[in-house]
Every structure is written in C-alpha cells, then in structure tokens.
Amino acid sequence: MLQTITPISDVPRAQLDPITTLTDKLSVFALALSRPLCAETIALCCDNQQRGVGIFAFNSKLKLTQIIERIIGAAINIDSATTICLLSARQGAGQDLSDTSQLFMAKNRCQDAGLSLTDWFLVANGGIYAVQ
C-alpha cells in the first residue's frame, strides 16, 4: 500500500478549489509525500472556505506533540489560514497507542493559536490510518 499512494489526476487547485473530502485531502498529500517514504509530517493549511493556502513538510521522527509548535508557527504566518490537516509518514506498524492523546493535545494547542486541527492521517506499513 505504501508504494501505491499516488496523486489523483483531479487535484484541488490552491486558493481556488475547496478541499473537503478524504479523497481531496489525500490527493494533495500524495503530491507532497516524499518518495521513498521517510519519517515526516505534512501540514495542509486551508482558509475559512477550505481552500488550500499553504503546505509544509517537516522531516522528523518526533511525535506530533513535539513538533506541533513548529507546525503552528508556520501556519500562523499565512494570513488566511484557519484550519490545518496533517499527514504523518512513519516506519513500522500503524497507529501507536499514544496517537489519540497526541491528537487531543495538538488540537488544543492549535485552538489556543486560533487554528482548527481537522484531521490527522498516518501512512505506515499496511496502509493509511485516520487518527481519531
């Protein structure tokens, strides 16, 4: 599954098309995902109409709670950014036992900064996972 993540031909256009569906989000992430896969977290920033206004990649094996401040720092420099959607690539098994609590803490930090963290997806051995 990891080697077959490819962009869809109809990718939402930056600052024009809303990115609202799972397919839309994953197609944008597929364009930014490093190949071969490495430990990284990609942040997709959207405006209040869910149009993409920025994308950042952070190459790091750190946990989400350890890099969320960097992600927020990059996102708040985009005037129109109101939401963030994340995708992390990791080696090894899928979800970690601490992922749900990390997402909760990251959402709180984003909210404190005036941003909304909408989704966090993981790409790992065996597939793509939505952390909830």
Q: Does a structural domain hold residue 128?
A: no
Q: Does a structural domain hold residue 73?
A: yes
Q: Does a structural domain hold residue 4?
A: no
Is residue 8's pLDDT more than 70? no
Is residue 1's pLDDT more than 60? no
Task: Summarize pLDDT for 52-78 with one digit per residue, the tens.
Answer: 999 999 999 899 999 999 999 999 999
Give 84's pLDDT tier (boundaries 50, 70, 90). very high
pTM: 0.89
pLDDT value for 2: 45
Q: Does a structural domain hold residue 122?
A: no
Q: Does a structural domain hold residue 1?
A: no
Contacts of 70-77 spanning 24+ positions with Cβ under 8 A: 71/41, 71/43, 72/109, 72/110, 72/113, 72/115, 74/43, 74/45, 75/43, 75/45, 75/113, 75/115, 76/113, 76/114, 76/115
Q: Does a structural domain hold residue 121?
A: no
Q: Does a structural domain hold residue 120?
A: no
User: What range does the domain containing 73 cover?
Assistant: 15-91+106-114
pLDDT value for 6: 54
State how many domains the chain has. Answer: 1
